[in-house]
Amino acid sequence: MDGINKFLFRMDQFSKETIPMSRLSEYMAQLSKLLGSQEKVHFGGLLKGSTILRVCVEDEVEKCVVKRLQAANSPGDDSDARKHYITLNGMLQFDKAVGTIRREKGESLLIFPGRKTVDLQPIGPIKQPSAVEGVLIRIGGKDSTIPAYIESIDGISYILELRSRELAKKMSKHLFENIRVSGEGQWERKIETGWTLKKLVVQDFELLEEASLLDSVAALRMAPKSDWQKLDDPMSTWKDMRES
């Protein structure tokens, strides 16, 4: 096909047979934003080996695309291209991968250090399929999105978002029990704290093990940094929460 310049985006952690389709679509969407000129930039297929995505760029926007890649490679640049580069590199770092963009028959144009990234500049939020385990300590709300909270054994509280009342009803039957929830997580990375799960939109859950209410409350009180350690009568607090 005349008038087409071919570029390759490569990441080493996956192959085309192993990368989840949902994750591939997230990479493609972010790559499209990085390259710009979206109506003139086309998907050219996946190649064998590591995940190698071929991008076909029409002649009339080729110089513009290369210019954006050059801007993305400038640490002091605050351009739109640089911001998308940082996000894409954060995704690669999250997946423990490194990446490159190069001409199919030519030089390398942009390197993504990914897992080799040294500086800890803030990244995110990044959406990623996620799962957490812990004791369901609170659930409730009247809005279309219902908040819930899980506290892990190490005392970390996770904010959950439930999109249906039916799911909320099912989960509420397991208050103060150990469950695993899974869905779409929103992650952020900051210099002080590293990667943090800011919110998890729950799609499913499962009961991990049978445990009495007393055992569950005891586990919460034993957890480091848990506010339940400060309560003189946690059972009364639990009853008040259930009644409210």
What is the full per-residue pLDDT of the chain (244 aa) written as tens digits? Answer: 458 899 999 999 888 888 898 899 999 999 999 999 889 999 999 988 788 999 999 999 999 999 999 988 887 666 888 889 989 998 998 899 999 999 998 899 999 999 888 755 677 788 888 999 999 999 987 667 899 999 887 778 888 999 888 899 999 999 989 999 999 999 887 754 567 888 899 999 999 865 444 555 555 555 554 555 555 555 555 555 544 4
Q: Look up the domain containing 26 and give its range.
A: 4-119
pLDDT digits (tens, 9 = 90+) for 2-13: 588 999 999 998
Question: Cα(103)–Cα(36) distance, rounded to whole angstroms?
Answer: 16
Q: What is the pLDDT of residue 126?
A: 86
180 and 199 share a domain? yes
Same domain, 202 and 104: no
- Tokens found for residue 202: 């729950």
- Tell me the per-residue pLDDT of 28-69, one tens digit each, with 9 for 90 and over: 999 999 999 889 999 999 988 788 999 999 999 999 999 999
Distances (CA, A) of 226 to 49, 184, 192: 47, 25, 21
Q: Among 218, 213, 140, 231, which Cα is nearest to 177's?
A: 213
Compute φ and ψ for 190, nearest 5 degrees.
-125, 160
What CATH number has the domain bearing residue 212? Answer: 2.40.50.140
CA distances, 85 to each of 2, 17, 56, 120, 183 (Å): 29, 25, 19, 15, 26
Domain total for the chain? 2
Q: Are 236 and 244 in contact (CB under 8 A)?
A: no
Residue 40 sits in the same domain as residue 104: yes
Asked if 74 and 153 sit in the same domain, the reply is no
Same domain, 130 and 115: no
Instruction: Please check whether residues 26 and 98 belong to one and the same domain.
Output: yes
The label of the residue with tokens 């990479």 reads: 27
| Phi-psi group of 5: left, alpha or beta (phi > 0 → left; psi -120 to 50 → alpha; rest → beta) | beta
The structure tokens listed for 230 are 């400060």
Together in a domain, 18 and 38:
yes
Measured in degrees and rounded to the nearest 5, phi and psi for residue 176 equal: 65, 25
DSSP β-bridge partners for residue 41 = 57
**Pick from 117, 87, 85: nearest CA to 101:** 85
pLDDT of residue 2: 57
Q: What separation in angstroms does the CA of 48 have from each of 33, 54, 214?
A: 24, 11, 55
User: Residue 1's pLDDT is what?
Assistant: 47
> In the listed set 67, 85, 119, which residue is the last one of a domain according to the structure?
119
Residues 134 and 213 in one domain: yes
Determine the 3-state secondary structure of 23 from DSSP. Answer: helix
